[in-house]
Amino acid sequence: MIYLETPLTVDKIKQLKAGDEVFLSGTIYTGRDAAHKRLIQLLDEGKELPFNIQDQTIFYVGPTPSKPGQVFGSGGPTTSGRMDAYSPRLIKLGLHAMIGKGYRSDAVKKAIVDYHGVYFGAIGGVGAMMSSCIEECEVIAFDDLGPEAIRKLKVKNMPLVVVIDHLGNDLYEIGRKNYLKKDCK
- Across 96-111, b (16+ Cβ under 10 Å) vs e yields bbbbbbbbbeeebbeb
Q: For 61, how many CA atoms within 13 A lie in the half-sphere containing its CB?
A: 32
36 is catalytic: yes
Phi, psi angle pair for 3, to nearest 5°: -100, 125
Beta carbons of 61 and 78 less than 8 angstroms apart? yes
Terminal Cα distance for the chain, rounded: 34
Q: Which residues does the annotation mark as catalytic?
A: 36
